[in-house]
Structures are given as structure tokens and as C-alpha cells.
Amino acid sequence: MNAIISATELASESTGGTPPVLLDVRWQLSVAKAAGAAAFDGRAEYEAGHIPGAVFVDLDADLAGPAGAAGRHPLPDVDSFGAVMRQAGVSADRDVVVYDGGQGWAAARTWWMLRWTGHPSVRVLDGGLGAWEGPLETAVPSPEPGTFEPAPGAVGLLDADGAAALARSGILLDARAAERYRGDVEPIDRVGGHIPGAVSAPTSENVAQDGRFLPADALASRFKSLGASGGSGEVGVYCGSGVSGAHEVLALAVAGIDAALYVGSWSEWSSDESRPVATGPDPQ
């Protein structure tokens, strides 16, 4: 099963006898919110028009627990996550397709959560809603409840100690913008910089201008240049709070490389003053 699906493929599969469950997870990281500006309203965007049959999922409420010492988007309560997925119509024996507004981060977080909890067939709409050329609807569907029961641990998950160890023994990729990795700027977290030993790998470089992923061979070549390949040993990813990092894990999957996600990411790491911080362009 591929990790991504094109809009053309989705349109074709949606007319079949067993169309995939569609999840709309529109979300944006709002730095302005910290300054008191109104946050992006994904539900309002969904209600204004979505792919027919899609069910809205709220990243902050459904795909993450309360922000705190474990980071801005820690893992949610697994039972609550399972209940949300069942209410959306998710079952283990039915394909799931996830999309967002086009950035891909929120869709990738949903993809990763479902994969981590054992769903065998989840794909992200490549290019998001902007790639969809079919009709939109405003009616909110009421799907038949699904039967999905989460079984955590199906794919790799790192904690802070595991990320620190992997930065020394394997490849730990930092998916944030290069200036945040270097510590030149830090608009959100307590301090700028990166986990010592981590390699800068901005997730923005995994996609073309239209938001679609680069071809698998181009992604494989990029990750190989960063030290990560199918035979390079264990690979991990972190970002600011485990959202854009999920997008990089998805890009690695497209390239045929398995990777673990450090969900707490920099928002957790940097909140602990006892943990070391590296700055500048070099990993160490």
C-alpha cells in the first residue's frame, strides 16, 4: 500500500463499491495566535466546502493531548482517539484517505497516528484539497460508526532519551526550517537550536511548489545525501511539536525508508533546561 494517493486515483476509488473513508484535517500552525490573533479555524473551512463524504477531524482536540511539559502536541489518549476514529467511520478493514488544506502536515499527523495505532491502509491525498478537481459539498455526513480498535506500537515512536541516543547511533533528522535548526530565530519555543547530533532536513524541501511530494527516487536521493537510506540503520525525525515531523516520516515512507517519530519534538526537548542545545549549521 502506497503512503500517498493522487486526486485522480481518489476520484476513481470514491466511485467504487467500497470507497475509502475520507478524513478532512485542515489545520495551520498559527504563530500569530501567540500574539493574541485569531487562530485558523479548520472546522469553519471544512463547513464551507469539503470533498463529498469527508468527516472533519480536529488536530488539536483529536490528534493531540493537552499542551504541557510533553510538548505542544503530545500523544492523545489512545482510547479517545479510537472513539473519534470510529465515529468518523474508520474500521481496520477499510481504506482511509486523509487530506488537509495542502500543506500536508496535519494529514501526515493523522496518517502517522493511524499507522502507529495499527491501521493497515492509510494514505494521504498528495497536494491536499488544492489538488482535488471534483465537486465539494457543505453537508456534514453521518457515517456508519466504524470498528477500529487502536493497538499502539505498530510503527516507531521516540521519546526524548531515544531521540538523543539515535542522534549518536543512527540518523536523527530535524524537519524544521533551517533558521530554527541553527537557532537564528525561535518564534515559539523557549530557546532556539537543535538536538546535538541531529541533521537539518527541512520538510519543505520534500515537496514541489504545488505542495505535492517529489518523486520517490528524488526523495530517496535527498535522504541518502543526509545519511538516511533503506540500509543506513535506524532513522528518526523530530520537528517543533510532532506535526511537520510526521510529514517528513511520510516523505521517508514514499522513499521506501522506515522512520520513527519523536512526537514531543523541540517543544518538549527545549522546555527541559537540563537537556543540551546545539546551535549553528553543524549537527554537534
pLDDT digits (tens, 9 = 90+) for 47-58: 999 999 999 999
To the question of pTM greater than 0.85 for the whole model, the response is: yes
**In the predicted model, is pLDDT for residue 33 greater than 60?**
no
Contact 48, 129 (CB under 8 A): no
How confident is residue 271, by pLDDT bands cut at 50, 70 and 90?
A: very high
Give the whole-angstrom CA distance, residue 43 versus residue 106.
Answer: 13
**In the predicted model, is pLDDT for residue 35 greater than 80?**
no
End-to-end CA distance of the chain: 37
Backbone phi and psi for residue 207, each to the nearest 5 degrees, phi listed first: -125, 160
pLDDT value, residue 34? 53
**Three cell numbers, residue 88:** 468518523
Across residues 118-145, what is the average pLDDT? Answer: 97
How confident is residue 233, by pLDDT bands cut at 50, 70 and 90?
A: confident
- Of 203, 241, 197, 193, the residue nearest 223 (C-alpha): 203
Across residues 95-105, what is the average pLDDT? Answer: 95
Q: Which of 70, 160, 173, 239 is catalytic?
A: 239
**In the predicted model, is pLDDT for residue 31 greater than 90?**
no
Give the whole-angstrom CA distance, residue 70 versus residue 95.
Answer: 31
In this predicted model, which residue has the larger pLDDT, 282 or 32? 282
**Three cell numbers, residue 113:** 497516528
Q: Is 239 a catalytic residue?
A: yes
Residue with cell 538523543: 164
Give the whole-angstrom CA distance, residue 9 versus residue 124.
Answer: 12
How confident is residue 30, by pLDDT bands cut at 50, 70 and 90?
A: low
Q: What average pLDDT does the chain have?
A: 94
